Structure 1
């Protein structure tokens, strides 16, 4: 069962035991306040021994009591700000199920962080919650103010949710959470709550307060929330070369991790997006490899290539299947077309199923988890050489020029290649080199701006055209394999029409490529300085 999702927007406040909830009906837009109701809640929080989830501001709990009993997963904030700004987090829910068995629908979102490590109960919270609901005109439920009296108990590692506890803490806090209201409600509400004795909370969550120093040391050891280590490149010309790489690579690591759950849950476009991020990472490591020790870069590039191949199996089969289905739909209906459809869909569908199975196995492998560890370690502790301190603009420009020269060489080789397999392979190399140039130019755009963006756009144009060319070649070869040795005269006409369609697309893509190459020739020779 798929987990239900929502967006949590809330602010927390510390408050003394004797504080009195102020009258809330006078807040702007609030027409009335519902009768207060009290519930007893118990939540058991799960994490690893090293607090791998807490260190990334992720909370996983099983709550009983109240109206939202069940498993709750709160993912890293979509937007984190200091001071008075509210915190937005994605929250997923699943039914109660078994006490110590995390639902698969939630685990799919956690594997990229757990990386093969099991979770166990770490904290039990018992909360007496009094809720004050705020309503606007027409009965619109704007927000809830929760007055929580909390007892927190840290659990012995591996003791289970019923195990013996320790280190009990007690405190009181107020939590204002939007339901259908607007964030503008926070400012006047906060002023009123401050007057009643509230103070900004010194913790992001009840779990963080319960864990105390343990959560802090986990953050220090494992790194802060995803994306916080991305450097600020507003220094422009003064930014060092490694800052350019770290910023670009950090964004791609974040994208891969964000797409991981979607790939596991087979959501649309997740495989494509994750594969694109892996390719970008590999390209930028290749383009700037001389800034770093050779061994770590080579290992990461090799492992990213492996991951790209695992992602490419089902993705390429999916693209091929969609392509041929569209071409089959263009043919006149009849027994021959339907016979061809069955054979084509069977062949491409089997490739997709096989590739998807291998991909799921790869995403649960130690090899994949080591790759994620390696990428984050490279981002946070890059093995730099002395030349890495050079200005980022100069190094980025050199990297773009080198990638452009590489592309021109492969273009020249393709122009002299004979027709047939050699020619097709040569154009495939052009496509790969155009892809590398595009990604390196994208990274250079962080410090060079529009000029680098133009280069990236020109390279992307060639990559896309040759991608269509490559897809048509693969489709043509699949059709030849499907029909070879088969006695299907009824489908012969359909196969012939499909092959002719691929030949037309191949010729058309070649013509478009030559035009795009000519159009971008001067731009790619001039570089970005």
Structure 2
């Protein structure tokens, strides 16, 4: 199984098109002899064309140099392609493929939707040292739709795929082809032409909506899309994908709480959805926390003089954290494979639809609800350390630490509320979100130090019980206690900056 980033361009050709000489363009020194290929591809999707609607294509292709299953997905401005070998008799997508698209298919079966046969004349554009800049394919295409009206089509097109060249090389090749009469294809893919009128149109919302309604709907949609987009990478264990998906779930939970009056759903439905998102957040969080803690403790140990790291401390910590995180990954993947997860995604779809279809939302409503979230966070912090004028770190202990942690979570919700309102309120809302982020980071540094200290105490006790020297664990525990105190020392300034009138007036 291999995945690569695919950079290609497709062109429509006039009847009298003749391939121009590419020698000298993008350092091309020679063009390889034509490779005559006959490709036969069957495309798969659900009955409702969920993959195609999500700009994802799945095919089983025979012939050519890369026969097998091909899964293409959006990746930034280009597309990534996952290739999995196919056996001669295999006619259903393998598990390596179906798990990658589960968040899109929602467990619905995949079936053939089109067959595309291509007679390809392919040539490589090489530099003097043999580097393949790009492949140019002159395709004669015959297609047959296997759904709906069963349209059959035939056309000719040119495809250029970048291999070892650069985007600048591709731009120069593009210029030469356009000068010869080629035109960028107006169709997004061969499949779209094959399906003809049955190809799903891009999802658009032409219903008039207020700026406030659009801000709410777009924010909810963006978080749903982030979860779906990163689902394959989360399953593969990509730490950054886990982080992004977790943040998206947190933003959704915040929106359900802060902007509930603007969502077209009952309180009971929102509470249930919130609990289900919280479940997913927890699964993602267990993995993310393990990854972060492993990196954090590794850095802490690396910062200590070797003579102060006594015993197999790095090995014990790495082993314990790896086991814990691996268990968490198994629980996460099991959750992603469950019907509960599919139901959650379907419920998020319904929320996105409802958020966009409901009535107007006045800008003042967004400001009011964002203000309420900010005030709630302010109260939580005041409960922990007093008013801005009397901010103190005195009274340290578990109760105060719990209150500070509660304030941190409340400020996260306030920050997300300001983010949601930014399309309407503009720079002032973005400025407040930045200031709250700084305040949240201070509280986060304190919380992280506490959590790390607790873990070190636990690991130190285990080491002592096993007859090992626990000195280093105690040393690191003391360091974390100091980090926590140092973080709180910067709290008054961060708090003043986040509560200044000029960054909050927009909510009035």
TM range (shorter): 0.7 to 0.9
Counterpart residue number, 1:502: 480
Match of 1:85 in 2: none
Hey, what does 1:243 align to over in structure 2?
214
Name 1:469's counterpart in structure 2.
446
2:391 is matched with none
CA distance in 2: counterparts of 1:131 and 1:339, whole angstroms:
58
Contact 1:24 1:33 in 2 (8 A): no
Picking from 255, 258, 269, the partner of 2:229 is 258
Q: 1:133 to 1:193 in 2, by over 3 A?
A: farther
Which sections of structure 1, spanning at least 5 residues, go unmatched?
80-87, 158-165, 233-237
Counterpart CA distance in 1 for 2:319 and 2:312 is 11
Look up the SS of the partner of 2:100 in the other structure: coil
Contact 2:384 2:404 in 1 (8 A): yes
Question: Per-residue deviation at 1:365?
Answer: 1.3
Whole-Å Cα distance in 1 between the matches of residues 308 and 438 of structure 2?
Answer: 39
For residue 143 of structure 2, what is the aligned residue in structure 1?
A: 152
> Does 1:22 find its partner at 2:18?
yes
Q: Deviations over 1:248-302 (max 9, x none)?
A: 2222222222221111111231111111111122222322211123344333322
1:435 to 385, 395, 412: 412
- Helix, strand or coil at the partner of 2:49: coil
- Which residue in 2 is equivalent to 1:396? 366
Q: Which residue of 1 aligns with 2:437?
A: 460
Distance 2:80 2:207 in 1: 25
| Residue 376 of structure 1: aligned partner | 349
Deviations 1:14-70, CA, capped at 9 Å, x for gaps: 76xxx3441412899376655443211111222222222122222111222122323
The range that moved more, 148-157 or 368-377, is 148-157
Aligned runs of 1:313-462 on 2, under 5 Å? 313-333=286-306, 337-382=310-355, 388-392=359-363, 394-415=364-385, 418-462=395-439
* 1:111 pairs with 2:106: no
Q: TM-score, length-normalised on structure 1?
A: 0.82
* Two-structure CA RMSD over aligned residues (Å): 3.3
Q: Please give the alpha-carbon distance, in whole angstroms, between the structure 1 residues aligned to 2:93 and 2:430.
A: 45
Task: Give the deviation of 1:148 after TM superposition.
Answer: 2.6
Q: Which residue of 2 aligns with 1:82?
A: none
Question: Counterparts of 2:11 and 2:411 in 1: how far apart (Å)?
Answer: 50
Q: Give the Cα separation in 1 of the matches to 2:374 and 2:140.
A: 63
Of 182, 198, 216 in structure 1, the residue corresponding to residue 170 of structure 2 is 182
> Aligned pair count?
489
Q: Which residue of 2 aligns with 1:129?
A: 120
Counterpart contact for 1:14–1:172, Cα < 8 Å = no
- The 10-residue stretch of structure 1 (240-249 or 338-347) with the greater mean CA deviation from structure 2: 338-347
| Structure 2 counterpart of 1:210 | 194
Which moves more between the two structures, 466-475 or 135-144? 135-144
Q: TM-score, normalised by structure 2?
A: 0.85
Q: 1:449 to 1:230 in 2, by over 3 A?
A: farther
| CA–CA distance in structure 1, aligned partners of residues 385 and 63 of structure 2 | 71
Distance 1:184 1:247, change over 3 A: farther
Greater Cα shift, 469-478 or 178-187: 178-187
Q: Equivalent residue for 2:247?
A: 276
Aligned twin of 2:82: 92
**Structure 1 position 294 matched with structure 2 position 250:** no
Aligned residue for 2:181, secondary structure, equals helix
Structure 2 regions of 5+ residues with no counterpart? 387-393
Checking the alignment, whether the CA contact within 8 Å between 2:139 and 2:159 is kept in structure 1 is: no
Q: Distance in 2 between matches of 1:143 and 1:478?
A: 53
> What is the CA-CA distance between 1:333 and the residue it aligns to?
3.8
CA distance in 2, matches of 1:288, 1:28: 59
CA distance in 2, matches of 1:229, 1:136: 48
Q: Does 1:171 align with 2:154?
A: yes
For the residues of structure 2 that align with 1:525 and 1:242, how far apart are their CA atoms? 22
Query: How far does residue 372 in structure 1 lie from its aligned partner after superposition?
Result: 1.8
Report the equivalent of 1:47: 45
CA offsets 1:136-155 (integer angstroms, 9 cap, x no match): 78776555543333333455
Q: Note closer, same or farther for the CA distance 1:137–1:493 as it changes in structure 2 (3 Å cut).
A: closer
What is the rounded CA distance, in whole Å, between the counterparts of 1:37 and 1:481 in structure 2? 65
